[in-house]
Amino acid sequence: MLRLILLTLLSPPLLAQDRIGTLQLRVSTDRPDWRYAPGQPVRFRIVAIQDGHPVAGLKVTYRIGPEMLPPKVDQTVDLPAEGLTVDGGTLAEPGFLRCIATVEKNGKTYRALSTAAFTPERIQPTQPDPADFDQFWAAGKAALAKLPIDAKLTPLPEYGNAAADCYHVSLQNVGPGAAPSRFYGVLCEPKAPGKYPALLSVPGAGVRPYRGLAEMAARGVITFQVGIHGIPVTMDQSVYDSLAAGALNGYNTFGLDNRDRYYYRRVYLGCVRSNDFLTSRPNWNRTDLAVTGGSQGGALSIVTAALDPRVRGLAAYYPALADVTGYLHNRAGGWPHMFRAAEGPLAHRSPDKIATTAYYDVVNFARRVKVPGLYSWGFNDETCPPTSMYAAYNVIPGQKNLLLALETGHNNIPEQVAEVQSWLQRFLKVAPAQN
């Protein structure tokens, strides 16, 4: 007993331990495939977890309605430790119904969402297909063809590797006016002699530098990763930050009131010019040419495949610029959401701007894609709503395959990227990367 008392007296006092952890708020549908028929009810389950266990004593605000539109339900209630199941209602026609939940803890707001699909394979575009769509783009390509490629290559030894050489490339392109402009990117080619397939990599939205795809080039693919803004793509990051905040802020609606001056005319034709360059490379195998990208790059992949018959296939993540007129028909439209606001400084709902989008909307290029393609997105995307992407996907006449990562938003997961890369490698007949 004396020994126990001594040990107790000599032992250091127990100190209070602070504890911190990330709260995980989760929202899920009552069906594991997230799919419903029009008229069938949805029930959403909301739960908060920290350190692997439910959290009690929180209030949750949940809003439910068609994606990207004002909610039909807006409630704040107690969130029990065991979670909360709420009635989500239904949709009477094909589309997506979304539940967004938020809680606050220790001064921080946590947010989660889940999106129920109602026969999305039946969603059709709201965007009309102009009778002179093909003539408009044929004229654009004819104007481009009159300009020499005038490729200027600058070696980038620090961008390459033991098996691939890289170059900064400047090409002549159509301009926003009568004078030509330039189109820039990073070319990466296998060092070993031979004939190789080619891959055009087109960018997501924003203003940034690029380093090329040297690792893929090392595996036997000629790659060309391009920017769209008519500026070199190897400058210091601060230059792009300044442009994004200044001269190029809001570029996606520049010239929207005139189809001949809209910003993306030069961009779409610049992608064709990039293929002019790729297919002129002496080590191209004269057969295999694919295009890939995500978001704005997903849109440009579809556009390029539709405009350029040399493209044999494409892989597109969550394509933007699809069915942008959805908001004019009381449903979600695609990025950049130029018609989401009916009034105010961001409103673009004028007849001339609406008419211009018909010549640039991805759904009208999707109608003309005849080559095989892999498309991938998730149901929780709030930048490129799934309604808009299905509107394009459903009208593609060519061979198509849809890879869904249901829970993802405007992002991808490693498993999804690996599958898309494997598809591209098989399509281009390239050996997979060695781990």
Top pLDDT among 341 and 9 is at 341
Domain limits, the chain: 24-122, 133-428
Residue 101 confidence class, pLDDT cut points 50, 70, 90:
very high
Instruction: Provide mean pLDDT across the span 311-333.
Output: 98
Backbone angle region of 360, left / alpha / beta, with phi > 0 → left and psi within -120 to 50 → alpha: alpha
Q: What is the pLDDT of residue 12?
A: 57
- Selected catalytic residue, list 28, 295, 301, 388: 295
| Confidence tier at 3 by pLDDT (50, 70, 90) | low
In this predicted structure, what is the pLDDT of residue 344? Answer: 82
Identify residue 40 by its one-letter amino acid code: Q
CA quadruple 328, 329, 335, 341: dihedral, nearest 10: 40
Position 144 scores a pLDDT of 98
Tell me what the mean pLDDT of segment 149-166 comes to: 98
Write out pLDDT tens, residues 195-252.
Answer: 999 999 999 999 999 999 999 999 999 999 999 999 999 999 999 999 999 999 999 9
Q: In this predicted structure, what is the pLDDT of residue 109?
A: 96
Tell me the per-residue pLDDT of 113-134, one tens digit each, with 9 for 90 and over: 999 999 999 999 999 999 999 9
Which residues have C-beta within 8 Å of that of residue 96, sequence separation ≥ 6? 66, 67, 115, 116, 117, 118, 120, 332, 379, 385, 386, 387
- Please say whether the beta carbons of 126 and 323 come within 8 A: yes
Helices (H) and strands (E) in the chain, counts: 10, 18
The strand pairing partners of 225, in sequence order, are 186, 201
Decide if 24-122 and 133-428 have a common fold. Answer: no
Q: Is the pLDDT of residue 15 over 90?
A: no
pLDDT of residue 6: 47
Task: Please enumerate in sequence order all residues whose Cβ is within 8 A of that of 372, keeping only pairs 6 or more positions apart, or say none.
Answer: 312, 313, 314, 398, 399, 400, 401, 427
Query: Is residue 102 over pLDDT 90?
Result: yes
Level-2 CATH architecture, domain 133-428: 3-Layer(aba) Sandwich (3.40)
- The catalytically annotated residue of 168, 337, 348, 410 is 410
Q: Comparing 277 with 21, which gets the higher pLDDT?
A: 277
Give the pLDDT of residue 10. Answer: 55
pLDDT value, residue 434: 62
Hey, how many other C-beta atoms are within 10 angstroms of the C-beta on 18? Answer: 5
CATH architecture for the domain at 24-122? Sandwich (2.60)
To the query of whether residue 308 is one of the catalytic residues in this protein, the response is no
Question: Catalytic one among 301, 323, 381, 388?
Answer: 381
Angle at 250 between CA 248 and CA 251, to 5 degrees: 55
Average pLDDT for 242-265 = 97
* Active-site residue, 260 included: no
- Residue 295 annotated to the active site: yes
Q: Give the tens place of pLDDT for each residue, 42-68.
A: 999 999 999 999 998 999 999 999 999
Q: CA 258, CA 417: separation in Å to the nearest integer? A: 37
Report the range of poorest mean pLDDT among 3-12, 186-195, 198-207.
3-12
pLDDT, position 13: 58
Angle at 149 between CA 145 and CA 155, to 5 degrees: 160
pLDDT band per the 50, 70, 90 thresholds, residue 286: very high
Sign of CA dihedral 218, 219, 221, 223: negative
CB 207 within 8 A of CB 230: no
Q: Which helix (H) or strand (E) holds 239?
A: helix 237-245
Min mean pLDDT across 176-185, 205-214, 279-288, 316-325 is at 176-185
Q: Do 311 and 289 contact (CB within 8 A), yes or no?
A: yes
Q: What is the mean pLDDT of the chain?
A: 95
State yes or no: pLDDT of 432 exceeds 90: no
pTM of the entire predicted model: 0.94
| Closest among 171, 310, 152, 162 to 230, alpha carbons compared | 171
